[in-house]
Amino acid sequence: MTEYIIDIKEIKRNFKLGSETVKVLKGVNLQIKRGDYVALMGPSGSGKSTLMNILGCLDTPTSGEYTLNGKDVSSLDDDQLADIRNKDIGFVFQTFNLLPRTTSLDNVALPMVYAGKSKEERYERAKEVLGQVGLGDRMDHHSNQLSGGQRQRVAVARALVNHPAIILADEPTGNLDTKTSIEIMNLFDEIHSKGNTVILVTHEEDIAAHAHRIIRLRDGLIESDDRIK
């Protein structure tokens, strides 16, 4: 097993806008060790969202190499990428992305449906992770009956359910008040302390300060890469 869970070399990503080619990532090199806790930061237009999409296998690079959990994923097709996303990456989004008229339990169990797990196994694991995020008493509540903080906890539980290699969180506190943001970040700290690799995308310095390493992008390149803990 390789030391690095993420290893990207000379990643470039161009987009066609009419007759123009916009170069968003201009040759990014990055290695992230297993069990690391990383914050990705950068101003609008820096390329951080594009890099996050590539790290999460939601997009493919124009050129370069990307090895995730020992697999070369830079040239996989859409079906293969979907499989990687389901098995190796747990996503937490700013907008929660939960099914509104569905129970917490079913929302959390959903990724296991795509992984081909039995109903019994799905519900047993979903109950386990809902208990881990402090929502053992909210399993039968629909997501539209939960507070924003509770919905984000459901989203975190869903991200954990398939034992992913990495947790990728995109502005996970962006829609939450200060008190709830602190609670959610404490939850991420706890998840990391159990050995999970966590990558946060944020523009907030106090949120990034929870990470152990802060990577800043500017103009499509890594501007700085600092270990703070």
What are the residue ranges spanned by the domains of the chain? 35-62+76-227
Which residue bears the tokens 């990307």? 66
Are the CB atoms for 39 and 224 separated by under 8 Å?
Answer: no
In the chain (229 residues long), the average pLDDT of successive 10-residue segments reads: 88 94 96 97 92 94 94 89 91 88 93 88 94 93 92 93 93 91 93 94 94 97 95
How many alpha carbons lie under 13 Å from residue 225 in its C-beta half-sphere? 8
Confidence at residue 209, expressed as pLDDT on a 0 to 100 scale: 96
Confidence at residue 100, expressed as pLDDT on a 0 to 100 scale: 86
CA nearest 29: which of 46, 12, 43, 44?
A: 12
Confidence at residue 220, expressed as pLDDT on a 0 to 100 scale: 97
Confidence at residue 35, expressed as pLDDT on a 0 to 100 scale: 95
Task: Give the pTM.
Answer: 0.91
Are the CB atoms for 31 and 11 separated by under 8 Å?
Answer: no
Confidence at residue 76, expressed as pLDDT on a 0 to 100 scale: 87
CA nearest 225: which of 42, 92, 17, 71?
A: 42
Q: What does the alpha-carbon distance between residue 116 and residue 141 come to, in Å, rounded to a whole number?
A: 25
Q: Going by CATH, does the domain composed of 35-62+76-227 fall within 3.30.420.40?
A: no
Confidence at residue 2, expressed as pLDDT on a 0 to 100 scale: 67
